[in-house]
Amino acid sequence: MIRTLIIDDEQHCIDRIEKLINDYGDNLKIVGACSTVDEALKKTNSLNPDLVFLDIEIHDKTGFDYLEQLGEFDFNLIFTTAFNNYAIKAFKYSAMDYLLKPIDSDDFSEAIKRLNKRISATDTEVQIKLLLNNLKKENHKKTIRIPTTDGFEIIEISDIIHCQAETSYTHIFTKNNKFLVSKGIRFYEDLLKDANFFRIHNSHLVNIDHIKKYTKGKGGYVTMSDNSNVDVSTRKKEDFLKLFK
């Protein structure tokens, strides 16, 4: 049984999550609901939930205020939000789960399925600390969590040189390492598009800051900081060259 706490400053949002939990089955049990950060801190310490649904905007405070004041995290966490693209980008960098309001029942079910597959609350603690860290940083200094065969590695986004697609997998090349991850390149294109990355080819996503040279041709190719050559597709060539005008 997953003991669940809901933190939201709108009663209709609390009611929606309660209904979704009740419809989901016996796996989730609501132990409390609160509408302020101060109340949430008290209930978290007294109720020891296994799972917290956390709103972003809570009156004059935020869900991040709650996390920073709490300090230690021995529960799983799912954010709920109606907006704030910046925060959503940070969620993706740190692999945190979130639900957009109004919460769809299918999205809710998928979030609970992902919850059941997570390693532990200790893994969530690492994710939360990474999230809070990313929210305080400029884009080029942000970090991203890369899954590995024995866990995960946290790397600076600025260290990523380029990404290469291989069917539904992606090779990520960094200054000091190479990773193969089980997500498609489209996922990383969306994740990194605001961090000065550009999809120059159907199979290649490059960090503009790591381009050393462009060589003309039908599409041409770029030479990266690791001396690798990456083709530019003819379809992407014009948009790519506009970046340097």
Same domain as 47, residue 88: yes
At 216 the pLDDT is 92
At 93 the pLDDT is 58
Same domain as 146, residue 95: no
- CA separation for the pair 5, 52 (Å, rounded): 5
CA end-to-end span of the chain: 58
At 84 the pLDDT is 59
- CA separation for the pair 47, 141 (Å, rounded): 37
Same domain as 129, residue 8: yes
- CA separation for the pair 115, 147 (Å, rounded): 16
Same domain as 48, residue 82: yes
Same domain as 190, residue 115: no
Report the Cα 122 to chain-centroid distance in Å. Answer: 17
At 141 the pLDDT is 57
Q: What are 230's two structure tokens?
A: 């990456």
Same domain as 92, residue 45: yes
At 140 the pLDDT is 44
Same domain as 106, residue 80: yes
Each residue's pLDDT tens digit in the chain (245 positions)? 899 999 999 999 999 999 999 988 778 999 999 999 999 999 999 999 999 999 988 988 888 889 889 877 788 889 888 765 656 666 665 657 888 888 999 999 988 888 877 644 456 677 777 777 766 655 445 788 788 877 778 888 899 999 999 988 999 999 999 999 988 898 888 888 778 899 999 999 999 999 999 999 899 999 999 999 999 999 999 999 999 87
Same domain as 147, residue 123: no
CATH number, domain of 169, equals 2.40.50.1020
Number of structural domains (the chain) is 2
pTM over 0.85: no
**Where in the sequence is the domain holding 188, given as residue range(s)?**
141-242
At 137 the pLDDT is 56
- CA separation for the pair 124, 142 (Å, rounded): 18
Q: What are 200's two structure tokens?
A: 């120059």
- Of the residues 135, 166, 200, which one is the last residue of a structural domain? 135
Long-range contacts of 55-60 (CB under 8 A, 24+ apart): 55/7, 55/8, 55/9, 55/10, 55/13, 55/79, 55/80, 55/81, 56/80, 56/81, 56/84, 56/87, 57/9, 57/81, 57/84, 58/7, 58/8, 58/9, 59/9, 59/35
Same domain as 167, residue 126: no
Same domain as 215, residue 117: no
